[in-house]
Structures are given as C-alpha cells and as structure tokens.
Amino acid sequence: DIQMTQSPSTLSASVGDRVTITCRASQSVSSWLAWYQQKPGKAPKLLIYKASNLESGVPSRFSGSGSGTEFTLTVSSLQPDDFATYYCQQYNSYPFTFGPGTKVDIK
C-alpha cells in the first residue's frame, strides 16, 4: 500500500498569509493526487485533482504542484473561510490512501 504523509500536522497562520502544505507518498503516484478541505461537521470538499488542476468553483488562491512522491498545496492569501483541515489523497492505485491531515488554525 502507498503511505501518505503530510507536514506540518498543524499550522497556525493569519489572514493574508501565504500557506504551504507538503504531502509525500511512499512511492510514486505520478500526478494522481487530490487535495481536500474539511471543516468541522462537514464533508470533505475537493480542491485540487491530478496534482495541479483546480476544481470548478474553488477560489484561485488555492494551487497545487508536484509529481511523483512530493506535492504541495499553496494558499496564496489565507482567508477566514480557509481555516480547516486539509487532506491529500493518492488515487494512483488501490487502496486509495489519504494523508493524516493538516489543520490550519488562527494564529
């Protein structure tokens, strides 16, 4: 199985900050990687698919990059609505696996 790790596990930031979350895979997943945002009590929301493709309706301040085993999610200017937990997920091969999550909270 492909193991996914994320860093940091928690990130304290302020509105307007540029924020970067890193996701690493235990083996290459090519570009078959997605990023999700989850708020308390809500279902996850797809932000990025195929490593760098912005899902329809997602603000352009979100961007993704990387391939192979190392990926990043960047929020160019953090907004109040962006405080949440972020998960990466590989869908290169079954079993699909998620990272443990990165919680972005208010500094």
Partner 1 sequence: EVQLVESGGGLEQPGRSLRLSCAASGFTLNNYVMHWVRQAPGMGLEWVSSIRWNNGATVYADSVKGRFTISRDNAKNSLYLQMNSLRAEDTALYYCAKDKAGSGSSGFDIWGQGTMVTVSS
Q: Which residues bind partner 1 (CB under 8 A)?
A: 32, 34, 36, 38, 43-46, 48-50, 55, 87, 89, 91, 94-101
Least distance in angstroms from the C-beta of 33 to partner 1: 9
**Residue 3, class by beta-carbon neighbours within 10 Å (0-12 exposed, 13-18 middle, 19+ buried)?**
exposed
Least distance in angstroms from the C-beta of 14 to partner 1: 26
Least distance in angstroms from the C-beta of 97 to partner 1: 7
- What number of residues does the chain have? 107
Distance CA 103, CA 51 (A): 20
